[in-house]
Amino acid sequence: MVSIKKELAEHGLTPRKKWGQHFLIDRNILNRLIQTAKLGKEDVVLEVGPGLGEMTLALASRVKKVIAVEIDSKLVEILKKKTTNVPNVEVIEGDILKINFNEFLDQEGQRLKVVANLPYQISTALLFRFIESKDVFSALTLMLQKEVAERMIASPGGKDYGPLSVFAQTVSTLSICFMIKPSAFFPPPKVESAVIRVVWKERPVVGLEEKEWFKKVVRGSMGYRRKRLMNALKHSDLPLPPDIEQRMKKIGIDPQRRPGTLTVLEFALLAEALKS
């Protein structure tokens, strides 16, 4: 693998903290990440934050097309030069949090796979966007902070269990594939990283027509997670039925439980029960 530090210096660049730039410098980790993604020759891949393009080029040799989205204009210029003779790479300059994913689906005529080393600052916000746009993507293979990966797979009752856990587990099957030491990056981050694979469930726990109300109930409950469930709901801005306590008892949920102890299925039952 080309020395990332040397290449950055040649271009007069330094990693930008505001964009959470930590460049992967371990070729073995890169190869393992790509292998974990289970890619085929007909796949179209979305890469987020391609940096200097090491993974971009490796992906391009394995799939039909790579769409690489990079916010740093200087890196975009380098990427475009590197991929001039690689016709199946499209480099887009832009903020991934503002891009309309449905345009990729319309453009390519097929669902995409995401393979990416996510910038730390935006990883959680981007995960919510991927979940929201799951019809665009068939699977996600993501390198991100270990703590975020652990939040995604967290079980009810634990300190890491929250809205991200619930929303991710409602629509997908999750698995942490392997951990990565800070030394695999330049500059090394202060925390360990993990590669997590996300595959959508054929039948989500919550139907499409109930999704928005479900999300409001989860966020409303979890916003006051130290309170009892009954009090948490009353403190939320949700329109609640007057017989809320009776409805909860009818579905077997004790109003005195803490919100963070409810399973994904129990949240789905609660949302259904609280509909006016």
Q: Map out the domains of the chain with their CATH numbers.
A: 4-200 (3.40.50.150), 208-273 (1.10.8.100)
> Given this model, what pLDDT does residue 141 score?
98
Instruction: Report the pLDDT value the prediction gives residue 61, as an integer from 0 to 100.
Output: 97
**Model pLDDT, residue 204:** 85
Looking at residue 63, its pLDDT comes to: 98
Quote the CA–CA distance of 276 and 274 in Å, as a whole number: 6
What is the per-residue pLDDT for 2? 56
Q: Given this model, what pLDDT does residue 24 score?
A: 92
Containing H/E element for 149?
helix 146-153
The total number of residues written for the chain in this structure: 276
**Environment class of 102 (CB within 10 Å of its CB; exposed 0-12, middle 13-18, buried 19+):** exposed
Are the C-beta atoms of residues 23 and 185 closer than 8 Å to each other? yes
Q: Alpha carbon of 173 to those of 140, 170, 176, 196: distances in Å? A: 11, 9, 11, 10
Based on its alpha-carbon atoms, the radius of gyration of the chain, rounded to whole angstroms, reads 21
Per-residue pLDDT of the chain (276 residues; tens, 9 = 90+): 558 888 888 888 888 888 888 899 999 999 999 999 999 999 999 999 999 999 999 999 999 999 999 999 999 999 999 999 999 999 999 999 999 999 999 999 999 999 999 988 899 999 999 999 999 999 999 999 999 999 999 999 999 999 999 999 999 999 999 999 999 999 999 999 999 999 999 888 887 668 899 999 999 999 998 899 999 999 998 999 999 999 999 999 999 999 999 999 999 999 999 986
Burial bucket for residue 276 (CB in 10 Å: 0-12, 13-18, 19+): exposed
**Which H or E element spans position 97?**
none
The answer to whether 262 touches 229, Cβ cutoff 8 Å, is yes
